[in-house]
Amino acid sequence: MPSAIAADGGPSESSEKPIPKPVKLFDTPKTSFAILTVVVCGTVIVFTELARRGRPFYVRPIAGLKAIEEAVGRATEMGKPILFIPGIQDLNEIETVAGLTLLGRVARVAADYDTPMEVPTTRALVMTAAREAVQAAALAAGRADYYNEDLIHYITDEQFGYVASVCGWMQREQPAACFYLGKFYAESLILSETGNSISAIQIAGTAETTQLPFFVAACDYTLLGEELFAASAYLSGEPAQMGMLKGQDVGKFAAIVLIVVGCGLATWDSLSPRGLQADGTKLPPRTSWVTDTVLKGG
C-alpha cells in the first residue's frame, strides 16, 4: 500500500495525484432534453423516409406561389419580358438554392407561354446553376428551343454595381413581371421600387427579416421567411426537403405546447403565490419546471 507521507516528511507524489472522476455515459438529469431532441430529429428522418416512398404531404397554399402563373401570363399578354433575380449571394446560401428551385418553376411556366426571361446574377456559380435550372425546365416543358443562355448572365460581384445594371435594364426593357427570390440586403428596396415605378407585378421572397418590410411595401406578393423554403420544398418534391419541412412543423408544435404550458404555470403562480418549503425557503416558481426540468434538464 503506497504511503501518503514521503521520507522527508512531506506529502508523497502519489498523494498529490487527483482522483479521477467516474465517467458518466448518460447525464440522467438531461433525459427530458434528450427525448425532445430525439423526437424532433426522429420526425425529420421518418418524414424523409415517407417522402421517399412517395407519400404526399399537405402544404398550405402560398399566395405568392399561386401568383406565378398570373405574373407570367400578364407578361405574355403585354408582350414584355420577365425578370428573375435569385438573390445576390453564392450557392452556399440556402436561400439561393431555394431561389433557384423556384426559378425552375417560373421557367417552366414561361416556357409554356414562350415568354422571354432575363436572369442576371452576381455570382458565376449561380449563373451556371441558373442556366441548368432553366434548361431543365425548358426540356420538361417540351420547349428545348426556349432555352437561351445569353439571357442568364453574370454581371458583377459588387453589390451596387449589380443593382445599377439591373435597374437600368428594368427602365429600358420595362419587364411586366419581376421575381426577387433569394437572399437580399440593402438592394431589396431599390430593386422593388424600380419595379414598382414601371408598374410591374412583383413577387418577392427572402428569409432576411430586415428586408421583408421593404418587399411587403413595394411588391404584390411576398414569401415571408420560411415560406420561401416551404415553396422550394413543395415545388422540388425532394424527400430531404419535405422531411425537413414537416420535421420543423413538429418542432414548432412542441415549442407552442411548451409556451402554452409555461404561460399556464406563470398564470397559476400569479393567482396562487408559492408558499414555504419545510426548511423555510420559498418554493421555486412553477414555471421552473419547464425551464429547469424540460429545457435545461436539471
Above pLDDT 70, what percent of the chain? 91
* Residue 5 binned pLDDT confidence (cut-offs 50, 70, 90): low
Are 206 and 87 spatial neighbours (Cβ–Cβ below 8 Å)?
yes
For residue 298, pLDDT over 60 is answered with no
State the virtual CA torsion across 248, 253, 259, 260 in degrees, nearest 10.
170
Residue 195 and residue 99: Cα distance in Å, rounded? 18
Are 155 and 162 spatial neighbours (Cβ–Cβ below 8 Å)?
yes
72 vs 288, more confident: 72
**C-beta atoms surrounding 55 within 10 Å:** 11
Are 95 and 206 spatial neighbours (Cβ–Cβ below 8 Å)?
yes
Specify the range with the lowest mean pLDDT, choosing from 104-118, 198-212, 221-235, 273-287.
273-287
**Residue 60 pLDDT:** 76
Are 245 and 251 spatial neighbours (Cβ–Cβ below 8 Å)?
no
Residue 247 and residue 223: Cα distance in Å, rounded? 20
For residue 267, pLDDT over 70 is answered with yes
Tens digit of each residue's pLDDT (9 = 90 or more) over 140-190: 999 899 999 999 999 999 999 999 999 999 999 999 999 999 999 999 999
Residue 72 and residue 117: Cα distance in Å, rounded? 10
Angle at which helix 68-78 crosses helix 94-113, to 10 degrees, equals 50
**Residue 14 pLDDT:** 56
Report how far apart, in Å, the C-alpha atoms of 187 and of each of 64, 161, 222 are: 21, 10, 16
pTM of the predicted model as reported, rounded to 2 decimal places: 0.75
For residue 9, pLDDT over 70 is answered with no
152-154 and 82-85 as β-strands: parallel, antiparallel, unpaired? unpaired
With CA atoms as reference, report the closest residue to 68 among 121, 115, 138: 115
Give the three-state DSSP class for 281: coil
Backbone dihedral region for residue 225 (phi beyond 0: left; psi -120 to 50: alpha; all else: beta): left
**Residue 235 pLDDT:** 74
* Residue 291 binned pLDDT confidence (cut-offs 50, 70, 90): confident
Report how far apart, in Å, the C-alpha atoms of 57 and of each of 42, 235, 242 are: 17, 12, 8
Are 127 and 91 spatial neighbours (Cβ–Cβ below 8 Å)?
no
Q: In whole numbers, what is the pLDDT of the chain averaged over residues?
A: 85
**Residue 200 pLDDT:** 94
**Residue 216 pLDDT:** 93
**Residue 82 pLDDT:** 95
Residue 230 and residue 208: Cα distance in Å, rounded? 15
C-alpha cell at 178: 419581376
Element (H, E) at 201: strand 201-206
Are 195 and 178 spatial neighbours (Cβ–Cβ below 8 Å)?
yes
* Residue 44 binned pLDDT confidence (cut-offs 50, 70, 90): confident
* Residue 218 binned pLDDT confidence (cut-offs 50, 70, 90): very high
* Residue 10 binned pLDDT confidence (cut-offs 50, 70, 90): low
For residue 219, pLDDT over 90 is answered with yes
C-alpha cell at 284: 421555486
* Residue 109 binned pLDDT confidence (cut-offs 50, 70, 90): very high
**Residue 150 pLDDT:** 93
Range picked from 34-43, 138-147, 276-285 for highest mean pLDDT? 138-147
Radius of gyration of the chain (CA): 29
**Residue 12 pLDDT:** 59
Kindly state the average pLDDT of the residues 106-118.
93
Are 175 and 82 spatial neighbours (Cβ–Cβ below 8 Å)?
yes
**Residue 290 pLDDT:** 76
